[in-house]
Amino acid sequence: MMNRSLKQFGEMLQTKKISSVELTQTFLARIAQHNPSINAYIALDEAKSLAQAKAADALIAAGKASPLTGIPIAQKDIFCAKDWPTTCGSKMLANFVAPYDAHVITQFDAVGAVNLGKTNMDEFAMGSSNETSYFGGVKNPWDVERVPGGSSGGSAAAVAARLCAAATGTDTGGSIRQPASLCGFSGLKPTYGVVSRYGMIAFASSLDQAGPMAKSAEDCALMMNVMAGFDERDSTSLNREKEDYTRDLAKPLQGLRVGLPKEFFAEGLDASVGKVIDEAIAAYKKLGAEIVEISLPNTGLSIPVYYVLAPAEASSNLSRYDGVRYGHRTAEYTDLMDMYCKSRAEGFGAEVKRRILIGTYVLSAGYYDAYYLKAQQIRRLIAQDFVEAFKHCDVIMGPAAPSTAFKAGEKVDDPVAMYLQDIYTISTNLAGLPGMSVPAGFSNGLPVGLQIIGNYFDEARMLNVAHQYQQVTDWHLKMPQGIE
């Protein structure tokens, strides 16, 4: 039963084959069984979840249900949820209980979905392996000695291990798509501004974007119908007409132009991962797609640009955690400055400190023009590359990650090697474009994800392209061994 789609779960609820309370209890039982070995969840509240499920059953009985009413969704612990712990994976917020709901949480509450719990994540979303969490690393359900990817590793592991029907994540430089690739499910980063960031704890405000993480493209489309929408509380939220992201799922792909950037298939890509991607491209040819070679010449600059801009924004955003108003405060201090220093030193982990230091440095007098301003100029060139590429193709495809899931601890002491995990995903965040990863096969028993990048506001087409592939393949239905 755990492999059913959101649509199938919805049909079961509507036809009274199962109640939301029973479905929620089933997932809670699976979490109790598997979470101790995977560490996907860091906050659970059975009473709250079952109360929401009971309310959802009442909506269904009254004939007021929508497609996600009564379905248990896991929420990344970066989203504030009223009366739930909201830690962002950090000691700094270990005791923080949110007094209000993020827009994303409000949207799911409005349709009667069930908040199943808060999922583990890299501290303040800074990481590519979910090893920087104050609450311990998350394990990949396909091989518990390996990482699930990050920063949305808890949501990724929960979806892969079927510890939820679907989950939310956030993507600043690939944190939905990279774990989707490493854990074998579908994850989508929308166009910047399509999903409100209100109540989503900030890492890098010009890059952060929330999105769905689910078994299939169809599931992602149903979640996007809930998550997307204008929010006046977020100054970067786009005031656009509501879309039905399921509208084009059934469209054939005849004549679709698929762009393959030569930079995505160069040195650095694991050969076995490249082989899986080649086979996926071949499947698209059979579906009627036309393959076009394109170039994104500034792709190689995306990581250095990102690691100037994102830490700069993080340095600014994280300055609010000073031990005064909320968050961790050191037990002993001599004066106000001593309290600031000790609270931040104790509250932040090593990776967060590293990025704050980098960000503060590039924003400092004498270095702003040399680093930050130059990075913003190159960011514009990266975005222009995509504008030029989309004159020749409808979607862009390639790998979501250069390798399969690596072993825990393998890259912890080499930040550059860790940062290179996002080489294929960061450029879309810098450009504000939508992108997604879908399961495309396996390499040595580990999942490989195919990345699909669309033009601005082209999520419906991307979901159509992914859905049609999933009609002729079953990679998205594969489950890790031992997770029944």
Q: How far apart are CA 468 and CA 253, in angstroms?
A: 8
Q: How many helices (H) and strands (E) does the chain have?
A: 15, 11
CA distances (Å), origin 208, targets 78, 204, 297, 366:
11, 6, 24, 28
328 touches 347 (CB < 8 A): yes
Q: Is 38 helix (H, G, I), strand (E, B) or coil?
A: helix
Domain 6-256+392-477, CATH number (from 3.30.70.120, 3.40.50.970, 3.90.1300.10, 3.90.1310.10): 3.90.1300.10
Residue 233 — pLDDT band, cuts 50, 70, 90? very high
Confidence of residue 417 (pLDDT cuts 50, 70, 90): confident
SS3 readout for 340-387: HHHHHHHHCCHHHHHHHHHHHHHHCCCCHHHHHHHHHHHHHHHHHHHH
pLDDT of residue 410 exceeding 80: yes
Burial class (CB in 10 A: 0-12, 13-18, 19+), 282: exposed
Mean pLDDT for 116-144 is: 97
Question: Could you say which DSSP state residue 160 is in?
Answer: H
Q: What are the CA-CA distances from residue 438 to residues 26, 30, 188, 284, 350 (Å)?
A: 26, 24, 9, 13, 32
Q: Which of 5, 49, 90, 175 is catalytic?
A: 175
Residue 263 has pLDDT above 90, yes or no: yes
Selection from 309, 454, 451, 314 nearest residue 380 by Cα = 309
Judge whether 178 and 149 are in contact, CB under 8 Å. Answer: yes
Q: In 3-state terms, what secondary structure has residue 85?
A: strand
What are the tokens at 400? 């979501």
Cα separation, 234 vs 180, whole angstroms: 27
Strand locations in 95-146 (E): 114-119
Q: Pick the residue with more confidence: 98 or 412?
A: 98
The residue written with tokens 């518990």 in the block is 144
Structure-token pair, residue 385: 């590359």
Task: Please enumerate in sequence order all residues whose Cβ is within 8 A of that of 12, keeping only pairs 6 or more positions apart, or say none.
Answer: 4, 18, 23
Segment 431-451 mean pLDDT: 98
Mean pLDDT, range 163-177, rounded to an integer: 98
Q: Categorize the per-residue pLDDT at 484 as very low, low, confident or very high, splitting at 50, 70 and 90.
A: low
Q: What is the pLDDT of residue 481?
A: 87
The count of other CB atoms within 10 Å of the CB of residue 293 is 11
- Give the 3-state secondary structure of residue 437: strand
Set 90, 151, 152, 186: catalytic member: 151
151 is catalytic: yes
Active-site option among 5, 20, 76, 315: 76
Check if 189 is active-site: no
The per-residue pLDDT of the chain, averaged, comes to: 96
Q: What is the pLDDT of residue 1?
A: 83
Query: What percentage of the chain has pLDDT greater than the value 70?
Result: 100
* Res 217 pLDDT > 80: yes
Specify the amino acid at residue 101. D
Residue 53: pLDDT band (50, 70, 90) is very high
Contact present, 414 and 433 (Cβ < 8 Å): no
| SS3 call for 320 | helix
Give the type of residue at 47. A
Q: How many CB atoms lie within 10 A of CB 17?
A: 11
pTM here? Answer: 0.96
Establish how many alpha carbons lie within 13 A of residue 219's alpha carbon, considering only the half-sphere containing its beta carbon: 28
pLDDT digits (tens, 9 = 90+) for 323-368: 999 999 999 999 999 999 999 999 999 999 999 999 999 999 889 9
Burial class of residue 51 (count of CB atoms within 10 Å of its CB; 0-12, 13-18, 19+): middle
Q: Is pLDDT above 90 for 449?
A: yes
Whether the per-residue pLDDT at 47 is higher than 90: the answer is yes
Q: Is 152 an active-site residue?
A: no
Q: What is the pLDDT of residues 471-480, one digit of tens each?
A: 999 999 999 9
Q: Which residues 6+ apart lie within 8 Å of 314 measured at CB?
A: 124, 126, 203, 204, 352, 355, 356, 359
444 and 146 Cβ atoms separated by less than 8 Å:
no
Q: What would the pLDDT profile of 74-93 be if each residue is shown by its tens digit?
A: 999 999 999 999 999 999 99
